[in-house]
Amino acid sequence: MSDHGGDERIGIDELLEQVRSGLDRIEPRAAHEAYETGEALLVDTRYAALRERDGLIPGALVVERNELEWRLDPRGSHRAPEATGHDLLVVVLCNEGYASSLAAESLRRLGLHRATDVIGGFQAWKAAGLPVLLPTSAS
């Protein structure tokens, strides 16, 4: 057994707690308001099956989680046009607000120092009665 100065390993719950302690997480209504006023870029990282099942947030940039860092890095060659600079307030949403915390932390490590996520994710957004474009059923 090696000693690396104490806490060698942590579980996902501890990691999530550590990550969230460094984020200014926001409620769905505050995220919507920040988007409406042009202050924030909403980024939906839910996978396609969830978007098809539950709908889309109007105006949100859809970026699959495995592409997030490449699409949001303001200095990256594969960045989305919306990735305008490191001062951008990026608000990440996943389905329930867990993976989005880790995603926001990753963006912060790229220098997007205002990156955060929505408490409760898309499900909390929808429950708050905020705008959702419902999927059209093919009939």
Name the pTM for this structure: 0.90
- Provide the sign of the torsion angle of the four alpha carbons 58, 64, 82, 128, taken in this order: positive
E strand or H helix that includes residue 13: helix 12-21
Task: List the chain pLDDT tens, one digit each, 139 residues.
Answer: 444 555 579 999 999 999 999 999 999 999 999 999 999 999 999 999 999 999 999 999 999 999 999 999 999 999 999 999 999 999 999 999 999 999 999 999 999 999 999 999 999 999 999 999 998 765 4
Please state, in angstroms and rounded to a whole number, the distance separating the CA atoms of residues 29 and 69.
25
